[in-house]
Amino acid sequence: MAHVWPIGGGKGGTGKSFLTGNVGIMLAKQGFKTLLIDADLGSPNLHTVIGLFYPERSLSDFFSKRVSDLEEVVLETPISNLFLISGASNKLDVANLAFEQKMRTLRAISRLDYDYILMDLSAGTSFNTIDFFTLSGSGVFVCCPEPTSIENLYRLILSVYTRKIHHLLKSPFFRDLTERAESRYPDATINKPEVLLHVLKEVDPEKAGMIEKILQAFQFRLVINQLRKQDNPTLGSLICQIIEKHLCLNMQFMGNISFDERVHDGLCRKSPFVERYLYSQVTLDLRSVARGLVNGHHGQAVAPLSMSQV
């Protein structure tokens, strides 16, 4: 079964597609059969990051049921072992998906035969983005060391958190619990997700404990991107501390990626960064993120990638 990692970040321009594309290339070169999915339906561009300029098929063929099997929209890329489901040439109204569509897509994704599946999600906190996190139970968040980016990161995580609890509470098993919680504290389920769990604990400690367990089962990771020299390198672990302390989510810091002007150059030259700038700090940083993804899943150390493999 494939390991599915949705990659999001709240704010636009934090490097979600850049990270997805380049980490995907590294995983593929390490010998893992890797699939990238451009789930940024509103503004797809992952194909450009990895150097595939004219994707022939795209995710919308699957949504419009022109093809029934998701495998049929998978494209080969210039890199061996790396495959892409592009979001390009989507119909322009495809950015809004019904919940059932998302379920169908995720079910189809989970049936695909790959080692790693990385999903590049859109910025913002639309249900499109959030549901890919809540449904897959895992996620990599990309954030820049700037207040605006951090603000949006928290907003995204809180949205995922709240939506998950709402899903659980709406199901019949939890319904009576919600009612009791709401009668005691009106607005509690809507206002502060953190408060919600405490309220539930008072009303019904047993069920609240179950929800807490489900939330703790989330596998969340954090990457700080575009870290400049003057930035605090421990920022990522501090953010993780806040989230673990106040939301009881399992959030693991995966590392910093240095800021580099050449990322811009690489994009303009339309060649994947890790191929063009093999010996840059950014490539080293990306490699440790890729290693973190692999290690986190197998729970054991994997030999470091050698330069030739990248």
Partner 1 sequence: MKKLQDQHFYELLNVEFNASPLDISRAYKELHELYREDSLASYSFFCKQERQEILAKLQEAYSTLMNEDRRYRYDRLLIERGILPEERQFQAEHRALRRASPSNHFIRNPILKITDELKALIASNSVIQEILSYDILSGKDLGRIRRELGISLDVIGEITKIRPIFLRAIEDDTFDIAPSRMFLKSYLKAYAQCIGLDANIVANRYLKRIDEQKLSSPTSHDHADK
For partner 1, the binding residues (CB under 8 A) are 145, 147, 150-151, 154-155, 197-198, 212, 232, 235, 238-239, 241-242, 245-246, 248
Judged on CB neighbours under 10 Å (0-12, 13-18, 19+), 66 is exposed
Q: Find the shortest distance in angstroms from Cβ 263 to partner 1.
A: 22
Question: Which of residues 108 and 248 has its CB atom nearest to partner 1 in the complex?
Answer: 248
When computed from its CA atoms, the radius of gyration of the chain, rounded to whole angstroms, is 20
Letter for the amino acid at 170? K
Strands laid side by side in the 251-258 sheet: 75-76, 82-85, 34-38, 116-120, 3-8, 138-143, 219-227, 251-258
Q: Find the shortest distance in angstroms from Cβ 215 to partner 1.
A: 10
Q: Compute the C-alpha angle 270/8/67, nearest 5°.
A: 75
Question: Which of residues 158 and 267 has its CB atom nearest to partner 1 in the complex?
Answer: 158
Judged on CB neighbours under 10 Å (0-12, 13-18, 19+), 261 is exposed
Q: Compute the C-alpha angle 290/291/294, nearest 5°.
A: 90
Question: Which of residues 186 and 209 has its CB atom nearest to partner 1 in the complex?
Answer: 209
Question: Which of residues 88 and 144 has its CB atom nearest to partner 1 in the complex?
Answer: 144
Q: Is the dihedral of CA 69, 73, 74, 76 positive or negative?
A: positive
Question: Which of residues 94 and 200 has its CB atom nearest to partner 1 in the complex?
Answer: 200
Q: Find the shortest distance in angstroms from Cβ 17 to partner 1.
A: 24
Q: Find the shortest distance in angstroms from Cβ 37 to partner 1.
A: 30
Question: Which of residues 83 and 218 has its CB atom nearest to partner 1 in the complex?
Answer: 218
Q: Find the shortest distance in angstroms from Cβ 207 to partner 1.
A: 15
Question: Which of residues 101 and 250 has its CB atom nearest to partner 1 in the complex?
Answer: 250
Taking Cα atoms as reference points, which of 4, 55, 58, 59 lies closest to residue 27? Answer: 4
Q: Find the shortest distance in angstroms from Cβ 220 to partner 1.
A: 15
Q: Find the shortest distance in angstroms from Cβ 157 to partner 1.
A: 9
d(CA 291, CA 306): 12
The helix (H) or strand (E) run that includes residue 35 is strand 34-38
Letter for the amino acid at 295? N
Q: Find the shortest distance in angstroms from Cβ 73 to partner 1.
A: 38
Question: Which of residues 245 and 298 has its CB atom nearest to partner 1 in the complex?
Answer: 245
Ranges of H-type helices in the chain: 16-29, 46-49, 59-63, 99-111, 127-136, 147-170, 172-184, 193-203, 205-216, 235-247, 262-268, 273-276, 281-298
